[in-house]
Amino acid sequence: MQKQAWGERHWFIPDGYIPETSSGSLTSHESVCVLNTSDRDASLSFTIYFEDREPMEHIAFTVPGRRTKHIRTSLLQKDGAPIPVGVPYAIAVESDIPVVVQYSRLDSTQAENALMSTLAFPVKG
């Protein structure tokens, strides 16, 4: 029996920012967490939007069927160029099958660490 693909195909994260510094033993970072409940692999395409430059488009990533992936945004690259640190940006995630997307940021720029996590904004269609 095939497992149903739950979620949506289009997700948006308006507040992206990779902190430039870290303190202590933890590294400041962000992750896009993707849950794929289907038996099929999910083919994702990331678009990174900036305030002052053209987007980074068609960054491909695959999430295997019935798995979750925590994708560090600092590892996403387009033509060898990573998302710049210390620069505000937004993320659009498109999938060929429905998935669930969550966003997390660990900010360790101060000794008092902050962890923020939120469900991305899904759009039907």
CATH of the domain at 39: 2.60.290.11
| CA neighbor of 66 nearest in space, from 92, 91, 31, 97 | 97
Residue 48: closest CA among 37, 39, 56, 40 = 56
Number of separate domains in the chain: 1
Q: Does 104 reside within a domain?
A: yes
Task: For residue 2, tell me if it sits in a domain.
Answer: no
In a domain, 114, yes or no: yes
Give the domain extent around 29: 8-123
Whether 78 is in a domain gets the answer: yes
Query: pLDDT tens digits for the chain (125 residues)?
Result: 678 999 999 999 999 988 877 777 777 678 899 999 999 999 999 999 999 999 999 999 999 999 999 999 989 999 999 999 999 999 999 999 999 999 987 776 766 677 778 889 999 87
pTM: 0.89
| 52 in any annotated domain | yes
pLDDT of residue 93: 98
Rg of the chain taking only CA atoms, in angstroms: 15
The pLDDT value recorded for residue 45 is: 99
Residue 3 inside a domain? The answer is no
